Amino acid sequence: MTERTIALVLDCADPEQLAHFWAPALEGELVGGAGNYFLVKGPGGQALLLQRVPEPKSGKNRMHFDVHVADIEGEATRLQGLGATRLSDKAQEELDSQWIVMADPEGNEFCVCSGEL
């Protein structure tokens, strides 16, 4: 069987701006940009490609990121300092998991979640 990896691609209006948010948000590295694309590599080698598209975001994302950390309140505060917006007043809880719903600077939803996958 051939080894496979997954790279996530996020459509956005300003990929450079979002790359400057997501690189520190993921504690990764902004690799660079070319044309309509900017690449962020996470510390585990995962890739996030930010792709400029002409149409604006409309409605709730059909897929979103979950960022898993030990201290969700501390991480939510750190991400707000980078430009994220907190969309829920308090952490949600279900099946021994907690999460805080947030949005990046362009309004793309993501969650800060407790624990590991």
- CA end-to-end span of the chain, whole Å? 25
pTM for the model stands at 0.90
Is the domain of 9 the same as that of 32?
Answer: yes
Q: How many domains does the chain have?
A: 2
Q: Tokens 């309140």 belong to which residue?
A: 73
The pLDDT score that the predictor gives to residue 57 is: 87
Tell me the two tokens of residue 60: 């709730």
Q: Name which of 50, 47, 62 is nearest 106 in CA terms.
A: 50
Indicate the residue among 34, 56, 78 that finishes a domain: 56
Q: What is the pLDDT of residues 20-69, one digit of tens each?
A: 999 999 999 999 999 999 999 988 888 999 999 999 888 888 899 999 99
Domain extent, residue 51, equals 1-56
β strands within 1-117, DSSP E: 7-12, 29-34, 37-41, 47-52, 65-69, 85-86, 92-94, 97-103, 109-114
Full DSSP string of 73-97: HHHHHHHHHHT-EE-SSS-EEETTE
Q: What is the pLDDT of residues 72-111, one digit of tens each?
A: 999 999 999 999 999 988 999 998 899 999 999 999 999 9
Residue 62's CATH number:
3.10.180.10
Buried b (16+ CB within 10 A) or exposed e, 84-108: beeeeeebeeeeeebbbbbbbbbeb
Question: Could you give the CA distance from residue 38 to residue 33 in angstroms, rounded to a whole number?
Answer: 4
